């Protein structure tokens, strides 16, 4: 019988290549995952880096913008008789308006006759005792501001605002004001020397025909208020007195 030809053996290099080929394919998903991870990390770093640069640029731009200089409109001096039952008293006053911008200043100058008329009427209703203190003058300045402000609002075709002096105080300021007040202990007054000791509350009182007094109810505490201030878009922002003499 003829013998079968012997099987040819593959070279060792080909066998090793076939064994290594599956190993190389198994590493491909790992490499792709690393690439995606590195790309995501680089994108996140780029985002945070440029976001910080954008915020820094915005802050620098805000700082670079110069603030608008204040615009003032002086008022001619006023001399007006005050409302007084103790005799003739009059007020000599000069003031300056701080307005929002140059157009508001032009409007105040254009309507100055009406502004002076309204201020004179307002001053003539005041008593010396009402405006002699610092708080009274601050309230008067706010009254003049709101009066003039409504004139300029009407001139610009905008609705006038209600005349309000006292507004609710913000909660944070009210709480800080309450915390600053000194605490008072509820202590009973000490008896004077030689005085009879007070009756013990635990001892029952003698029966009398006198009816018991009705308990007194303390009035409800008013919410804290503060002097109103101008809104950001008000034509007249403040009123400053440059002279204030009551005689």
Strands (DSSP E) found in 69-138? 71-74, 78-81, 90-99
Q: Give the number of other CB atoms < 10 A from CB of residue 182.
A: 4
pLDDT tens across 136-149, in order? Answer: 999 999 999 999 99
Whether 212 is covered by a domain: the verdict is no
Whether 41 is covered by a domain: the verdict is no
How many domains is the chain partitioned into structurally? 1
Identify which of 74, 32, 37, 25 has the alpha carbon closest to the alpha carbon of residue 241: 74
- Range of 241's domain? 71-170+227-246
The one-digit pLDDT tens for each residue of the chain (247 residues) are: 455 555 555 555 454 545 555 444 556 666 777 777 776 666 665 555 656 565 666 666 656 566 778 899 999 999 999 987 766 889 999 999 999 999 999 999 999 999 999 999 999 999 999 999 999 999 999 999 999 999 999 999 999 999 999 899 887 655 555 555 555 444 445 555 555 555 554 545 545 555 666 667 666 677 788 999 999 999 999 999 999 999 8
Q: What is the rounded end-to-end Cα distance, in angstroms, of the chain?
A: 151
Whether 239 is covered by a domain: the verdict is yes
Which backbone phi and psi does 198 adopt, to 5 degrees?
-70, 150
Whether 107 is covered by a domain: the verdict is yes
Whether 192 is covered by a domain: the verdict is no
pLDDT tens across 14-34, in order? Answer: 545 455 554 445 566 667 777
Whether 14 is covered by a domain: the verdict is no
Whether 135 is covered by a domain: the verdict is yes
Q: What is the CATH number of the domain that holds 130?
A: 3.30.479
Torsion sign over Cα 112, 117, 120, 121: negative
Residues 6+ apart with CB under 8 A from 119: 75, 78, 144, 147, 148
Whether 34 is covered by a domain: the verdict is no
Q: What is the mean pLDDT of the chain?
A: 76
**What's the pTM value of the predicted model, to 2 decimals?**
0.58
pLDDT tens across 156-189, in order? Answer: 999 999 999 989 988 765 555 555 555 544 444 5
């Amino acid at each position: 019988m003829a013998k079968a030809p012997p099987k040819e053996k593959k070279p060792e290099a080909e066998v090793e290549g076939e064994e290594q080929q599956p190993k190389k394919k198994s590493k491909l998903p790992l490499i792709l995952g690393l690439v995606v991870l590195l790309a995501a990390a680089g994108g996140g770093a780029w985002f945070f880096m440029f976001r910080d640069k954008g915020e820094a640029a915005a802050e620098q731009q805000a700082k670079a913008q110069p603030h608008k200089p204040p615009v003032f409109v002086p008022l001619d001096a006023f001399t007006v008789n005050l409302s007084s039952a103790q005799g003739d008293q009059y007020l000599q006053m000069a003031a300056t308006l701080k307005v929002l911008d140059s157009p508001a200043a032009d409007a105040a100058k254009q309507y100055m006759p009406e502004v002076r008329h309204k201020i004179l009427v307002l001053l003539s209703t005041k008593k010396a005792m009402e405006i002699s203190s610092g708080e009274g003058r601050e309230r008067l300045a706010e009254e003049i501001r709101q009066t003039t402000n409504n004139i300029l609002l009407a001139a610009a075709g905008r609705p006038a605002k209600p005349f309000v002096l006292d507004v609710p105080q913000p909660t944070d300021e009210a709480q800080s004001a309450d915390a600053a007040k000194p605490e008072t202990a509820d202590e009973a007054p000490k008896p004077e020397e030689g005085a009879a000791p007070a009756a013990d509350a635990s001892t029952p009182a003698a029966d009398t025909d006198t009816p018991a007094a009705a308990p007194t109810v303390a009035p409800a505490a008013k919410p804290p208020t503060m002097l109103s201030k101008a809104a950001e878009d008000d034509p007249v922002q403040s009123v400053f007195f440059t002279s204030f003499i009551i005689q």
